[in-house]
Homo-oligomer: A and B are copies of this chain.
Amino acid sequence: MGTGLDLPLDQILVGDCIEALRSLPPASVHAIFADPPYNLQLRGDLRRPDDSLVDAVDDDWDKYDSFAAYDAFSRAWLTEARRVLRRDGTLWLIGAYHNIFRLGVALQDLDFWILNDVIWRKANPMPNFRGRRFTNAHETLIWAARGQESKYRFNYAAMKSLNDDQQMRSDWFIPLCTGAERLRDAAGVKLHPTQKPEALLHRVILASTAPGEIILDPFLGSGTTAAVAKRLGRHFIGIERDPGYAAAAAARIAAIAPIASAAALSLPSKREQPRVPFGVLVERGLIPAGSRLQDRARRYSATVGADGTLRCGAFAGSIHKVGAALMEAPSCNGWAFWYAETPGGGLRLIDEFRAEINQGLVA
């Protein structure tokens, strides 16, 4: 197992993606983000209605002889990527209709387990100039665990916070990478044809990694993955075939200042907070043993035991078990069911007592 010491952390490996992946130890990175060639099959020029020419992706690296050749390439690098991925790691892919279906099938056939497909809705896509199709206004990401039974990280609370305290959906509305963020040469010409916006990687990295973890990008290109990883206090490993792109990415990354504040990086996740059993509230006297809890409608009341169990008539057990028994429900979240009497005669949800502990308001 890699200890981290034998990994090329925060470096860019210049060379072929499959060979570079083979040089890495197995089960060594926490996440992979890959933006592989799209296999666009463009034929003639495209002009805008004002007769200006669209600057299309016509690079050699995007040319494949056939679907079969593209599939073989995809499966080769995905196989190595899976080997390098930790058992609890996840992999992100991005593509468009030209290639994303083939990538998805390759993932499934290689035993990855798809968790979500995610739609990047472009705020400002290029219009369809000829009026022959729908405006191609999105790209598709696939998020997958290493296997069906794999554990994986999903920073649910961080995503919910990012989305105004509503669950993050599978469709993300994010502008294209333009303006000052876009890398350009001295003449002002874009350096890379498909530079991804940092906002997209911000969400990907925040959702699926923790500070200090390692994210690998086998098609680093202009270096967006590495730049955002560094800013968010994650380690990166980049692989890029083109020395020019690698050099530009390295310069870009060097200019990034990581977020200094540990507090800004640690997003509170209920799941990761030390679990506070109900008994601790009793132990600390927030809810005294022997006091009574009520449901919201005051239809039921129960007595708090010194061991953190409740008793209500014939029923005894955890706050969850007793709640479920009274409601005749298969399960019940006791934290959201039981209220304690306040000195003023009102009711206060027991989860609020727990929140005080989690927020450090109670010693």
Contacts and interface: CB of A to CB of B under 8 A. Distances in A.
Contacts of A185: none
Contacts of A327: 51
Number of contact residues on A: which range applies? 35 or more
A167 B331 contact: no
Contact of A108 (B67, B143, B156, B332): B67
Interface in A303-343: 327, 329-332
A143 B135 CA distance: 13
A109 interface: yes
A264 to B, nearest CB: 23
A50 to B, nearest CB: 10
Contact of A105 (B105, B132, B169): B105
B101 A171 contact: no
B119 A138 contact: yes
B154 A132 contact: yes
A109 B67 contact: yes
Interface string A127-143: 11001111111101011
A268 to B, nearest CB: 13
B51 A171 contact: no
Interface stretch (A20-28, A110-118, A190-198): A110-118
Given A108-B101, A116-B134, A125 B169 contact: yes
Contact of A51 (B114, B148, B331): B331
Given A102-B105, A116-B134, A118-B134, 8 more contacts: A67-B108, A97-B117, A101-B142, A117-B138, A125-B169, A131-B154, A134-B143, A138-B170
5 contacts: A101-B108, A117-B138, A119-B171, A138-B169, A140-B140
